[in-house]
Structure 1
Amino acid sequence: MIKSETLKFFTALAENNHRDWFMAHKDEFEVVKENITDFAGEVIKSLSKIDPLVDPATDPKKCVMRIYRDIRFSKDKTPYKTWLGIHKFTAGKYTGGIGYYIHIQPGQSFAGGGYWLPEGDHLKAIRQEVDYNADELKAIVDAPDFKSMFGEFRDQEQLKGAPAGYQTDDENISLIKLKSFTAVKSITDKELQQKDLIDTIAAIFEKIYPLNTFLQQAVSTT
């Protein structure tokens, strides 16, 4: 589980996002990082039982994102993220950006997966797979338990018109027009601190695994 001290640290950092404060509280951050890394290790073991592409021996330190922001091209020059993400559970075994993700931030935490904003050939390949095998995708995203957990899959950002090569009256155009193919579930601060958090995350990722498999099938030959 995520400790209350971890959430309190991020809240304080959001109010004091500058180097002097961070350096004065570096020891607290190390404890926060250890908490999240330990949690990532538990997630890896749990997810490896769901997705065979996840190696249970994966080093959790490699899955926890850095706290430092890249401010080179940003107008916002605050140096630190006020959250931490956990990703790359499959160590590159999924193609492109397909995978799982956990975001830890007071009041804004979530777990999700799929493929966010695929570009170029991958996007074309996914749309083609949807066109050819829409029933397979709809069986995943329209399943009652999937919709209950993640909401309507088609509510993600879409193109205003049909992509080149597709017709606006295509029965699956609402899926073909999607810019992302993701599923996201919010997690409350209370849920983060419960002992069964791993079970909560596992239930989310178990529903996302068939979506990732579909997406991987689509882009594996590009």
Structure 2
Amino acid sequence: MSRTLGASILLACLALAGCGGGRAAGADPAPAATVTVTASPAVTEPPKASVPPTKPKLTKAERLLDQTRKNNKDLSNGAQTFILADGGGASGAIKAEIKPCQASPSSYYTARHGCFIAVYVAFSSGVDNLPINAADFYILGPENRRYNQGVGDAGLVPMEVERLYFSNLNKGEVLDGFLSFDAPAHGRLVYDPAYATSQIFWSY
């Protein structure tokens, strides 16, 4: 073999990636190397701790008024309580005394709903121009039926006794008077003035 022919064969072998180490024709290709990809987890911020809303601190007077509102739902006969005006302030005080049932105080009248009931109320004003109105009172009987004052008076309140009418009280002034109802023997007297923040109930 000449030197020129040997050099040509050597170059051909190098081009084919080596004569002896090359793959035979038709052989399966070598498997690709396995590549493992690791995904880094996304970094999430820890949830922020929920901060409960802070309740405003109540003053001593506000706490007293809150308790009064609760107590006003079921006062005993004759009890005294606050009158609560718009804005939560105490405008004054009120006391109510419900007299026992009188089925027939006079031979000229008969109670349509069971009894004639007299109510004595007394006010003490803590502000100027506190409106007092007899129409703000009524009785709730069984099944929440309402009985307005002044119905079936029947002479229950004597003429010489002061009845409760509309009035505006100044600070420090006191007013008292009587109301009358034709209503059941047992129920609740309700005071519900338009300016107040809650109703007042006396059970009898």
**TM-score, length-scaled by structure 1:** 0.24
Q: Which has the higher helix share?
A: 1
Higher strand share: 2
Tell which has more relative contact order, 1 or 2 (C-alpha 8 A, sep 6+): 1
Q: Which has the larger radius of gyration?
A: 2
The TM-score normalised by the length of structure 2 is 0.25
